[in-house]
Amino acid sequence: MTTKTWISSASATVRRPERVLRACAVVLALACAACATPAARPGQGTAPDATPEAVGMVDIRTLVPDIDTDIRYAGRDNFTGTRVEGYEAAKCYLLRPAAEALAALERELRPQGLRLRIFDCYRPARAVRQFVRWAADASDQRTKAAYYPALDKSTLVPGYIADRSGHSKGATVDLTLMRCEGPSPGTCRPLDMGTPFDFFDPRANTAHPHLEQAQRDNRTRLVAAMSAHGFENYPMEWWHYTFDLQPPPDVFHDVPVR
């Protein structure tokens, strides 16, 4: 642009102040609208009416139809004493790579007379929020004797209950091993791991020093089996494993289990 043209354009702009002001107002309005739009938060990465399949998860039973599942949060037999929000069905959903790795492990274990029992897989973010509310309610002590007899409820967050859970990403699973006396699932019994599932106590730490030798051996066997298929243990809980996905999932889903 030449100097003459620039001066001419500038003069024209001065002669049309109303048009310039209107243009500025439009730009400011668009900027304010963008600022007012809330950023996505964990648990809001999926539409409310989405399904686990829509975000890349599969039901483990589509890969191993007779795998043993005892999805505790779909019923009352859990530390909250009630069915947990988001668990509309007792199903185990995982991102496909994690589900396929778990299915491969189950097939590998069976000739050894062993099977998996699954307690939890994908966990909706709304369930995690319910856990946090439960932990903050000091008046509800119904499950203390069974799940946290030696701890004060207020100490369960964040060591045992976090406000965000890797389960909501779809690659974490809670489980144990069973020994089977025959091919039928009815002949299988859980191995002695030293504590029940979801037992909030240092004894649930995977490498707790004061375990019986058989209990230590059973935990070691579970760690070795899961590790061989890409799952890493959470040291606070012997039952808790996360699959090593690359890149790691970064969305905390809140799709109900249906």
**Which amino acids are annotated catalytic?**
237
Alpha carbon distance 69, 249 (integer Å):
24
Paired with 31 in beta bridges are: none
Q: Give φ, ψ of 179 to 5 degrees.
A: -100, 130
What is the DSSP code (8-state) at residue 178?
E
Binding residues for Zn(2+): 167, 174, 240
User: Which residue, chain included where needed, has tokens 């509800």?
Assistant: 140
Q: Which of 118, 131, 206 is nearest to 164 (CA)?
A: 131
Q: Could you tell me if 86 and 123 are in contact, meaning their C-beta atoms sit under 8 angstroms apart?
A: yes
Q: Give φ, ψ of 136 to 5 degrees.
A: -85, -10
